[in-house]
Amino acid sequence: TQLLEQSPQFLSIQEGENLTVYCNSSSVFSSLQWYRQEPGEGPVLLVTVVTGGEVKKLKRLTFQFGDARKDSSLHITAAQPGDTGLYLCAGPIRNAGGTSYGKLTFGQGTILTVHP
Amino acid sequence: NAGVMQNPRHLVRRRGQEARLRCSPMKGHSHVYWYRQLPEEGLKFMVYLQKENIIDESGMPKERFSAEFPKEGPSILRIQQVVRGDSAAYFCASSPRTSAGQYFGPGTRLTVT
């Protein structure tokens, strides 16, 4: 079973601080995706990382895919109240026969609260 | 380019009734996925469809749940004889190909009373 574990589960910080969210697995993933979800809305795709060791930047957000493609991290620099939300990592899972079809397994999420 | 559309956004059903949830994928996307988010639980895969075909329904309960994606019109997730445990947020996502990121709709929040 390909599971994704996120840490921390909750993160409460002051505006301007930096933070890192981790997404770990014992399985290799062909890619990992990060989403942000606000209450009452659907997840919004932030980034897809595909290559081991890959680093992608999206303004103040930096995403890294582990060399072995078993883990990923999301680093936010100088957090702002608008960054508040649920952050989810997700990766495609395979059926017993090895086919994927792109269906995703999700981590439990990290609830980030940034206080002004 | 409009995003993934889902309706209704909120649906209240009494036990034993049927619930029909609709999803229109993004233009140009032929891959549709349904996920369920139960209270205090994460998002769980239910079913993957392409036009007129169910490709993978390994995450869908065997009874009372069905899905379709007809040649014309939206994808529909149908829940017959709903029970309180079906209360959840149901999300549809679409993708241009299986290896690409998925784009989610706003979800349908089903409440069974």
Q: How far is B107 from chain A (nearest CA, A)?
A: 6
Taking residues A12-36, report their average pLDDT: 96
What six digits make up the tokens of A70? 């078993």
**B99, A102: Cβ pair inside 8 Å?**
yes
Q: What is the pLDDT of residues B8-46, one digit of tens each?
A: 999 999 999 999 999 999 998 999 999 999 877 889 999
**B56 compared with B100, residue with greater pLDDT:** B56
- The whole-chain average pLDDT of chain A stands at 94
Q: Does the beta carbon of A103 lie under 8 angstroms from any beta carbon of chain B?
A: yes
Share of chain B above pLDDT 90, in %: 83
- Give the gap in angstroms from C-alpha A13 to the nearest C-alpha of chain B: 23
Sign, CA dihedral B15-B36-B78-B1, equals positive
Query: Are the beta carbons of B106 and A41 separated by less than 8 Å?
Result: yes
pLDDT (0 to 100) of residue A101? 83
Q: What pLDDT score was predicted for residue B1?
A: 52
Per CB-CB distance under 8 Å, the chain A contacts of B58 are 95
Closest-approach residue (CA) in chain B for A38 = B106
pLDDT digit string (tens) for B64-86? 999 999 988 999 999 999 999 99
Which two tokens mark B47?
A: 């079913």
Q: What is the pLDDT of residues A54-64, one digit of tens each?
A: 999 999 999 99
Q: Which pLDDT does position B40 carry in this prediction?
A: 77
SS (H, E, C) A77-101: CCCCHHHCEEEEEEEECCCCCCCCC
pLDDT tens, residue by residue, B83-112: 999 999 999 999 998 878 899 999 999 999
pLDDT tens-digit series, residues A81-112: 999 999 999 999 887 777 778 899 999 999 99
Backbone angles phi, psi at B41, to 5 degrees: -125, 165
Contact state of B56 with A95 under an 8 Å Cβ cutoff: yes
Distance from the Cα of A103 to chain B's closest Cα (Å) equals 7
Characterise B73 by phi-psi region: left (phi > 0), alpha (psi -120 to 50), beta (else).
left
Instruction: Pick the residue from chain A with its C-alpha nearest to B99.
Output: A102
